[in-house]
Every structure is written in C-alpha cells, then in structure tokens.
Structure 1
Amino acid sequence: MKVPSSSVQLLVLFVLASSALTAPQGCSHKIKEQIEPPKGWVKVAPAPADHIINLRIALPQPEFASLEKALYEVSDPDHARYGQHLSKEEVEELVAPHPESLNAVDDWLASHGISQGDLSRSPAKDWVKVRVPVSLAEEMLNTTYYVWRHIESGDAVVRTTSYGLPEHVHPHVDLVQPTTLFSTFQGMKTTYRWSANRQQSVDSGVASIRSASGTVVDSSCNSTITITCLKELYNATGYNSSATNGNTIGITGYLEQYANYMDLQDFYAQQRPDAVNSTFNLITINGGQNNQTLSAAGVEADLDVEFAYGLTYPTNRTFFSTGGSPPYIPDMNTPTDTNEPYTQWLDYILASPNPPQTISTSYGDDEQTVPESYALRACADFAQLGARGVSLMFSSGDGGVGDGDPDPTTQTCYTNDGRNVTRFIPGFPASCPYVTAVGGTTYVPEVAVSFSGGGFSNYFGRPRYQTEAVTKYLASLAPGTYEGLYNPFGRGIPDVSTQADYFQIWSQGRSGHVGGTSASSPTFTGFVSLLNDALISAGRPPLGFLNPFLYGRGVAGLTDITSGNNPGCGTEGFNASSHHLHDINYVNTDAVTGLGTPNFGLLKDIVLS
C-alpha cells in the first residue's frame, strides 16, 4: 500500500468531518484493550515509524452461538445430527459479520486512506488484513508502538500495551493484532536424551509385560518406545489402514522446524520397513521452508512425522511448514515482524476446501501470555474446523501445573496481570474447549509422566461435556486442595493421554530418545486417524470434534490412569484419580492424564457400532 502524504490525509479527514458519517463524539478514541507489561519483556525503544505491521482486524461473529450449537450436535453420538458435519460454506455463513460491521470497519479504514484494494479478507469476511507502517497504525489505534525484547530468548517484537478505536467502531471490532500479543509460541518438549538406555533397571529375563488394559507388551517398551510398542500397548496390532479411501493425517510445523526425509527413511527402516521409500505431502504457508540440510532437521518435526506417519502408514500424510516468527532486529531499517505463526496456518486451513480429517500440533504457550480476546477468537476458529469434521489435537504442555519450564524447581508461576500472585499456569491452545488436549504417561503399566501439563483454564469456562466428570474429580480432592491456585470453574486439561517419554526417533542422521507431550499428541492423533480410517472405509463420516464422544460413549474405550502426578509451582500438582473405578456409569477424569489412554480395538468397535 502506498502511504498517503500528510496533505492527502488532511483532505480525507476534512471530507469525513464534513459528512454525516462522523460526529464530534464519534471521532474520539476509547481504549479497546490494555495490558500490564508482560513478565520477561523489556521496552527497548520506540518502533521505527516506517516499520511495516501486518494488522489483523477481527470482526464480530454474531451467529457463533449457532455454530457452537451445530458443533456439539454433529459431535454428539447421541444426537440425531451426529456425523452430519457442516460444509465450508455453511460454516462461513455462520461466522460472517453483519453488513453494518463490514461497513463501519471499511469506513474507519477509508478515513485513514486505506482503500478496498489495500485489504485482504478471510473467506467469511470475519478477518480483515492490511499492511501499514507503524506511523499509520499508531494514528489508527491512538497508541505508540515500541520495540520490546524478551530477556531470556533475546527475541524482539514491535508491540504496544494499550490501543483504542473510535467509539462508534468498538461494537464492530473484536480485536486488532499485533498489538498486545507477547506470546513466545514454542514447541512442547522436554530435554532430548541421546542415550542408549532408560534410567531404570529392567529385568531382561522378562519377555513381556501386561498393560493396565490387559494387552501384552514387549518388556523393552519399558526402556524405549517404538511404533511396535505403541500398537501393542494400545491394542492396534494387526490393523492395516488404507492408502486410497481419502483419509489424511496432518502435522503442523512451525519455528523453522523441518521434517527431514532422510531421517524419516532411517526411522522407517528401523521401525516400519514396509514404509521405506514413501514420503509425505508438503504444504508451505506464509513463506514456510523445507530445508533438507541434515543439520537443519528439527527434533520436534522429526518426532511428529515419524510417529504419526509410522503409526498410520499408508494413510495419506501431510506436513504443514508454516513460516513467520520473531525475532525482529531493532537496528534494521525495514524489518519483517509477524503475527503468531499459527494464525497464518489457521488462515490457510480455514480456506482449504479439504483439510485433513485429523491434525496434531505440538506447539503452544502459557495461556496468560496470550490476550484473552485473542485466545477466544483463535479458539472460535478451531470450532469452525471441528464443525467441518476435523479432529484437532494439541499437546497439553510440559510444565506440569506450572509454566512452560519443564523443571518444576525453576518455574515462576506468577500471574501476568500486574498482581504477581502465585497461580498454576495452564497452556493455550490446549485450554480451548474445541480441541482435544493430550497429556502424557510413562512406563508399562502406565503412570502419569511428571511433566504432563494439566489443570484448569482461566479464560474458558468448563464445557458441558466435562460437567459431570470434572465436577466429580474436584469433589474427590481433599477440601481446600490448592485453593486459590487454580480456577475450579475452568475447562479441564488434558482430555486424554498417551506415552510421552523415551521415544526412539531419528534426527540429524542419528538415533536417540526424546520426551515431551510433543510425543503424546502425534501418538494419540495417529490412533484417531486409524479410527477415521475404519469409519471412512465403512462409508461413515470421520469423528470430527472428539470431546463429546470421548466424555460419553468413547470413555469405555479408554484406560484410566490411576497413579502419578504433575508437580509444579512449588507443589506436587494434581494426582491421577482412581475414584469410583467400579462404577460403570462414572466418567473418570483427572488434571494429569484426563480420561486416560486409548484402547484402539475397543474404540473401533464403539465407533463402528
């Protein structure tokens, strides 16, 4: 966009002032959003006036309640509409803004010299995007942008802690970003261990062990997790998926994490020989790359694709490489500074006519680092995908009940709102009620892994599918347990779990063990994809949004994990629950492993019944 000169801007303002579109009070700005300077970020200097910002403006979705209603109906096995997922066009109709909002925002932008040709819009027109220099953004939002630097990482962004809009525009805009978003979006992972053996003695004389669900598992699975281990543990041995029925599994990649073809072939040769010489479909978004230099291989990306694709081969496979991440370098004249990269992925996937039926994401951040308005809107976008029949899995986090630091002894656990009080720190997007949050277990029989992210959202209320299970779980806690440290009315995390430690992968040409809920999310996603394979092959629709099914009929196909905890914030965290195990009508959940781990054989029978 060519920025208008000051004389042109004055002319535009004069014309508008002379028209009936404005009134003296209507032109005044009113604060739309204001935050405390976030922890760990320091103000460096005013942002350069010519620095380009990619503004994203969210318009209200007045019919979202109707979309949410449809989402729950098509996702509830006991509802007559179950499986009747909405089309892309039907979803877009339900999230489209009112014409009044479109006109009000267009007029506001025009008053700053921004024409229709300068804009891009989402298919539903509920997002408007425009590139503007800092000087114009500051005028539009009545704010001042600064360069902020993250003390720990050194990353820098151009942000503000407060912005406003003309009063008459307020009802027509939900949020504008980048403004107050200081999130440090990152992969969910603990340390990478390139060790040969697990730090626990294993009786080599025992050939097999029995899992809590009754399956027989090779004893080596207590020191190294492989594709074979997972299929044995979760009762999927012998199931063969289709390469041609239209089922697709998707993995998202961010922050220059590249899935390496050579590493994948080495992994297949070791753990899935029949998949050797097969590969995946690559989709690059927002300048995403595909660097195949071996040294550029990302452990996160390699882990995700090796286990998700290894479990589901020969199902059609897609890897999304999404570009766009700080740091911004303050001494450059016209640097590039982007939004959170997963908004770029959301733009792409919502516009896609045929997204994968099952998608895993092993990235996220502490919920409190994401402005609530932004989290609510991103979550609403996830709901659109669920209504269209897409199952979305997110890692629950690696900090137990604490922040993203996997070491519970160094977590801060202070609120980010200026009060600096101690609170448990849930993760986002796992806290969104329209996605499935995946926690972690370890060993056979399984126990909760100590870093499994869990707790309760401070942004999202308890969804109705959790009402009974979470209410009973909280009632089982000793009176006063962690009172004031968590929101007892919030959405509970995680929903389910799988193994999350000592996964044997190949990365940068060598084999080693890795751990984190970055392992459990693609694992659970793999088994969901196999369930979708069975459904699609039987001429049935895919599962779509999973949670109403999991907390209902599906719980009979999950194995409750009854021991372990997730320490953090100077506490032992929550315990895995073992209450009411003999009550078949009781849906058992906890804030460490959720409803438990999958039994694919039972789940397949349930979904096909």
Structure 2
Amino acid sequence: MLQRYELQNVPDGWMRQSGPATSTPTKFWLAMRRSNVSQFEEQVIARSTPGHPEYGRHLTREELRASMRPSEEAAAKVRSWLEWEHVPAESIEDRGDWLAFTIPLSQAESMMKTQFNYFYQPRTQTTTIRTLAYSVPEDVRPFVKLIQPTTRFGSPQAQDSPETFVPVALTAEDLAGNCSRTVTPACLRQLYGINDTEITPDPRNRLGVSGFLEEYARYDDLEQFLAEYAPNQADAKFSVVSINGGRNLQYSLSPSSEAALDIQYALSLSYHASAVYYTTAGRGPMVQESGMLTIADSTNEPYLEQLHYLLDLPDKDLPAVLSTSYGEEEPFVPAAYAEAVCNLFAQLGARGVSVIFSSGDWGPGDTCMTHDGTRRTRFQPVFPASCPFVTSVGGTEGMEPESAISFSGGGFSDIFARPSYQDADVTSYLQSLGNIYEGLYNPLGRGIPDVSTQANNFVLRDHGEWMKTGGTSAAAPVFAAIISRLNAARLEQGKSTLGFLNPWLYSLKQRGFTDIVDGGSVGCDKPTGAQVPYAGWNATPGWDPVTGLGTPYYETLLELALEA
C-alpha cells in the first residue's frame, strides 16, 4: 500500500497548465522524521535562556550533527527505498536528517506515483513545476516527513513588495528634510542611542545578509552611500558567498533596491563586522524562454539551499547574525515544510547564529483567506517570521513619538504553538484584547513580531541613483546591525555571541526597549480578498502584535548583553 501526501485543491492564485518535459532534472529534498525534535527544540530554548548552566555554550558542527542523526532503522528504510527506485547513489547528498537527490521528473513521477504539471501565478507571472499529491510506500511512510519540491507553491517575497512600496527618487525636500521625512543612518543612530566604541575587530563577528530573487548588492552603490551617510564606516566592505549558483552581478539592469537596502544599512550601522552577502539562486523554479530548466533553476527551495549550506560550514565560518528580509504568508506554506525549515533555524540558533527576519508588510494579513479550498476568512501571519526560532522585526515610523506603522506585519501563527519564552507577555496582551477578532486568529499561536525598528522613508542608493523606500525589509538589517554591535562587545570581553536571541530578549522585561504605544496596523482590505472592517492590531503597553517588545535602545542593551 501507498501513503499519500496531498493538497485538496490547486492553491488560490495558481492555474494548472500542461505537463513539463519529463527529462527535466530536478533536485528533491527529503526530510526524515526524528523522534527527538521537540526535546531538541526545548533544549535550544533552555540553553538560550540567561541563568541556564549551558547559556552561551553553542554546539559545534559535530555535536549538532550527532544529535540530528535519524535512527538507523529510518536511514536504512529510506536508503533502501531510494536504491529500489534506482536513484543513483552518487546523486544523494547526506545532510543528517535530510537527504537531497537529483533525478529526472519521469523517475520522480514513477517513484512517488504522481504527475507533475506547470502551474502559473498571474500576479507574479511565475511558472513553476508542482503536483497536488505524492506517495511513498507504507513501510517508508513512518520515516518520511516530507519530500519537496512537490506540493509547496509559495516562494519568498521581499518585504518591500512592489505592490506596497515602489522605491522613488529623492527630491530636494527629501534631501533637506528632517528624520521624520527621510531616514538615514544618522537618524537611526540618534534615535536608538548607537555610539561607536573602540573594539578590536573579530573575524568571528560575521554579519550575514541574505540575498534571494536575483537581487544584487553593488559595491559602487555601497561606497557612495557610506561616503554620504556613514563616513565613519567609509572603509566597510562586504564579501559575497554564492549558494546554489547564486550570482551578484554588478552591471545588471534589474532593480536591486532590496539588496541595496539590506547591505547598506547593515554595514552603516554595525561596527567593524565582517559582512557577507549570501546570494542564493532558486525561486520557483523559473521556466526559461526555451521551456527547459537547468538543475539550478529546478532547485526551488532557496531556504533549504541556504540553510543546509550554512549548517555545513565549519564553526569558524558561520555568521554570528543572519538578516533576511523575505517571507510569505503562512497559508501558502505546507505545515510539514514550515516545521522542517523552522527546525533548521533552531539548529542555526544552537550553533550560535542570531537569525533575524522581517515580520511582513500586510498588517494582520493581505487577502485574509485560507488556502485550503474553504476560503475561510482568517488573518495571515508571515513565515519564516512566525518560526519560534527566529527573531521577527516589525515596523515603526516617526520620531517624537515613535509609533507603529500601519503595514507592520504581526499576529499569531496557525502552525507554531506559542513558545514558553513569550507566554507571559502574549497572554497579557490577549487578556486585554478580549473577544475582538475571535475566530480570525489562533490565540495559542506563536506571536509576532518580537521587536521593531523604523521601517519607512529609508534613503538608499541603487544603480547609482538616490532613492527612498520602506517596509519591514528595512527594519530587519537595522536590528541585525545592533545585535552585531552587541556581539562585538561580548567577544571583546571573552564571551560568546548571543546566538538565538528570543529567550534573552523576553527575559529583559522590556529593559533596553522603548515601548511603542501609539498607532496600529491595518490589513484585510483587498478587494480581491476577504475584507474585515477595521482589521488591525493596536500598539499597546507591553508586547503587542504590531511592534513586539518595542524598539531597541543600544546603550542599555549593551549593558544587559554584557551581563548575560
């Protein structure tokens, strides 16, 4: 007998088309089930909580690998199945509890008893190869959590989506304006109390910036930006790491405002960090004009490619902080996939990496409908921001006072339960909320965001032009740069990097943060979606699902980080 993994319907917004060439080589990722997942994740939270005997002692690569091995029975069963299906042994990559293998689609259809089709999404003009169901033998099923790319239709989206933000050229008024009109590194330094201190550069203090969707970080643009807006950092540089064939073209005509924003603010606000731009190929996969796909194109899971690459790195080469400004709404993400990817973020945290994501730009949700065929009205948090093992950054605007910005993504996960580290804060908020929006969100879910920073009217330089833009895409690298500074100070004193941040952040009881109590988010107002009148979350005293714990104040956080 066979056990099937399936979707009930074609996901909303996608249209099924013809079948692809079955000779197309495709890379598949198979996640094996582990019996100790919950224990491992509980251990990561415990070891990341100040006061724990193991706080600050991050796992080595070898220690993590040893704890991630599947059972001998699971490994043998899955390997035996792949061998039976004539998957070439030389094509199999062993990543512990994950296996990757590349085979033609025809072989994949045979071994998974399915049929792949092209699917087209008019909104993004994306064509991808997917199926609605696949099967594995019944005796293998207990050991296989998922195989992708199969039923996962989503793809990462920059959180300064062109539907919301179109970078515009700076005007004379912008250039002469104050920080309420135009946000620069100097504005952020003043607002968040960021002062330079003499700290010896440490190669372990590596600040990583994620690049997806063919966004390219340009050296000339960075040089001009630093000269104009951060002359104290004028000598700051970044290196580039290519993952899965990712490129960083310097003379491409493609807009790259996301990459420019991320790298320019990460470097202008950090201090002597070794910055790395991790450019990862893969987005769907994308079908070329010829109708064929290269192996790199057919590898459609950029998160998996990036995460496995990073987890394979020696300890000395890992980033201490990783900032990512991409995400997608949870309903588009199969729960098994989200859980498996989130566990990889937990593994990075266990090795000492602070993983930071923007919380999204749709307030409580965009279309606010489920994508399971029922089209129920439901708020839509963003993944991976909703993963309990990343730090999710929302958005604010204004200076005196600073207030929540209307698009700041937030809410409560329908996939992940509320973690222990935020239980008291989120419970307090929910008690004050009462019955408002009952049935539209999961009151037991992981709450986002965790923190927030400014997220609008950021100056940047792209293709040699001065522009400004906004989105929680801007907030993530700002917070990442602040954490990088804290790590620099800790390393100077012989301490470890902060690693997984959230248990520490919530343990501070908002010390080191400015509580944002003005403004709120707005969403669920698209004509094509489920409209919820006055949908949104308010900024309130304490944690809230618009600004989290609030915005950081560096000098206080520095004292607290050195005490931890």
CA-to-aligned-CA distance 1:3-61 (integer Å, 9 cap, x gap): xxxxxxxxxxxxxxxxxxxxxxxxx2121343421011000112322122211111122
What do the CA deviations read for 1:217-262 (whole angstroms, capped 9, x no partner)? xx82111111111111111124355423631111010111000001
| 1:252 aligned residue | 210
Question: Partner of 2:287 in structure 1?
Answer: 328
Letter matched to residue 363 of structure 1: Y
Which residue number corresponds to residue 461 of structure 1?
Answer: 417
Q: Tell me the distance in 1 between the aligned counterparts of 2:98 and 2:415.
A: 22
Alignment of 1:75-224 (within 5 A): 75-122=48-95, 125-189=96-160, 190-191=164-165, 192-196=167-171, 220-224=178-182
Structure 2: distance between partners of 1:498 and 1:223: 16
Which of 505, 508, 511 does residue 466 from structure 2 map onto?
511
Corresponding position of 1:408? none
The equivalent residue for 1:540 is 495
Are 2:549 and 1:595 aligned?
A: yes
Equivalent residue for 2:381, pick from 408, 426, 431: 426
> Do the aligned partners of residues 55 and 277 (structure 1) sit closer, same or farther apart at CA in structure 2, a change above 3 Å counting?
same
Q: Is the 8 A contact 1:555 1:595 kept in 2?
A: yes
- Residues in 1 aligned to 2:298 and 2:504: alpha-carbon distance in whole angstroms: 41
| SS of 1:592 mapped into structure 2 | coil
Per-residue deviation at 1:116? 2.3
Partner of residue 496 from structure 1, selected from 417, 431, 451:
451
- Matched positions, count: 546
The reply to whether residue 356 of structure 1 matches residue 327 of structure 2 is no
Q: Name the Cα RMSD after superposition.
A: 1.8
Q: Deviations over 1:298-330 (max 9, x none)?
A: 100000000011111322111111112232248
Partner of 1:18: none
1:372-407 per-residue CA deviation (whole Å, 9 max, x = no partner) reads 10000000000001011110000000111113xxxx
Provide the C-alpha distance between the structure 2 equivalents of 1:334 and 1:386, rounded to a whole number of angstroms: 34
Q: Following TM superposition, by how much is the alpha carbon of 1:197 offset from its aligned partner in structure 2, in angstroms?
A: 6.9
Q: Which runs of 5+ in 1 are unaligned?
A: 1-27, 205-218, 404-411, 580-587
Q: Which residue of 2 aligns with 1:473?
A: 429
Over alpha carbons, which structure has the higher Rg? 1
Question: Distance between the aligned counterparts of 1:225 and 1:241, measured in 2?
Answer: 27
2:534 — aligned with what?
572
Q: Which amino acid aligns with 1:601?
A: E
- TM normalised by structure 1 equals 0.87
> Contact between 1:35 and 1:180, CA under 8 Å: does it hold in 2?
no
Q: State yes or no: 1:344 paired with 2:344.
A: no
Name the CA distance, whole Å, in 2 between partners of 1:416 and 1:331. 31
Instruction: Tell me how far apart the structure 1 counterparts of residues 172 and 500 of structure 2 sit (CA, whole Å).
Output: 38
Q: Are 2:364 and 2:411, in contact at CA under 8 Å, matched by a contact in 1?
A: yes
1:407 corresponds to: none
Deviation (angstroms), 1:358 = 0.7
SS of the residue corresponding to residue 295 of structure 1 reads coil
CA distance in 2, matches of 1:334, 1:343: 19
**Contact 2:204/2:319 (8 A) holds in 1:** no
Whether the 8 Å contact between 1:437 and 1:496 is mirrored in structure 2 is: yes
Aligned-pair distance for 1:287?
0.5
| 2:250 equivalent to 1:308 | no
The answer on whether the counterparts of 2:378 and 2:440 sit within 8 Å (CA) in structure 1 is: yes
Q: Indicate conservation of the 8 Å contact 2:397/2:404, yes or no.
A: yes
Q: Distance in 2 between matches of 1:100 and 1:33?
A: 26
Q: Map Cα deviations across residues 437-456 of structure 1 (whole Å, 9 max, x no partner).
A: 00000001210011100111
Deviations 1:274-318 (A, max 9, x none): 333542111111111120016346100000000011111322111
Q: Distance in 1 between matches of 2:180 and 2:293?
A: 53
Deviation digits for residues 501-544 of structure 1, max 9, x if unmatched?
A: 01111111011211000000000001011111111111101111
The residue that corresponds to 1:7 in the other structure is none
Change beyond 3 A, Cα 1:140–1:279: same
Matched residue of 2:152: which SS? Answer: coil
Question: Does structure 1 conserve the Cα–Cα contact (< 8 Å) formed by 2:523 and 2:536?
Answer: no
The answer to whether residue 231 in structure 2 is matched with residue 273 in structure 1 is yes
The answer to whether residue 4 in structure 2 is matched with residue 34 in structure 1 is no
> How many angstroms apart in 2 are the aligned matches of 1:157 and 1:333?
11
Shift of 1:573: 3.7
> Contact conserved, 1:77 with 1:549, CA < 8 A, in 2?
yes
For the pair 1:524 / 2:487, whether they are aligned, the reply is no
Aligned with 1:222: secondary structure? coil
TM-score by length of 2: 0.93
Gaps of at least 5 residues in structure 2 are 525-531
Relative to structure 1, is the Cα distance of residues 382 and 333 closer, same or farther in structure 2, using a 3 angstrom cutoff?
A: closer
CA distance in 1, matches of 2:467, 2:394: 22
Conserved? CA contact 1:161–1:179, under 8 Å:
yes
Q: Indicate how the Cα distance of structure 1 residues 35 and 178 shifts in structure 2: closer, same or farther if over 3 A, else same.
A: farther
What amino acid is the match of 1:343?
A: L
Q: Is 2:543–2:550's contact at 8 Å kept on the other side of the alignment?
A: yes
Question: C-alpha distance in 2, partners of 1:498/1:512?
Answer: 20
Q: Give the match for residue 299 of structure 1.
A: 257
SS, match of residue 567 in structure 1: coil
Residue 375 of structure 2 corresponds to residue 416 of structure 1: no
Map residues 48-87 of structure 1 onto 2, 5 A cutoff.
Answer: 48-87=21-60
Superposition deviation, residue 554 in structure 1? 5.9
- Separation in structure 2 between the aligned mates of residue 536 and residue 185 of structure 1, nearest angstrom: 33
User: Aligned partners of 1:239 and 1:450: how far apart in 2?
Assistant: 35
Partner of 1:384: 347
CA positional deviation for 1:147: 0.8
Q: Distance in 2 between matches of 1:183 and 1:417?
A: 13
- 1:608 equivalent to 2:551? Answer no
Per-residue deviation, 1:139 = 1.2
What corresponds to 1:319 in structure 2? 277
Contact 2:196 2:271 in 1 (8 A): no
Q: Compute the displacement of 1:152 (Å).
A: 1.4
User: What is the deviation of 1:104?
Assistant: 0.4
Q: Partner amino acid for 1:563? A: D
Determine which of 430, 443, 451 is the counterpart of 2:407.
451
Between the aligned partners of 1:514 and 1:476, the Cα distance in structure 2 is 34
Query: 547-556 or 380-389: which moved more?
Result: 547-556
Paired AA for residue 98 in structure 2: W
State how far apart, in whole Å, the 2-side matches of 1:86 and 1:198 are. 51
Distance 1:198 1:69, change over 3 A: farther
Cα contact 2:16–2:118 (8 A) shared by 1: yes
Identity of aligned residues (%): 40
Q: Report what 2:528 is aligned to.
A: none
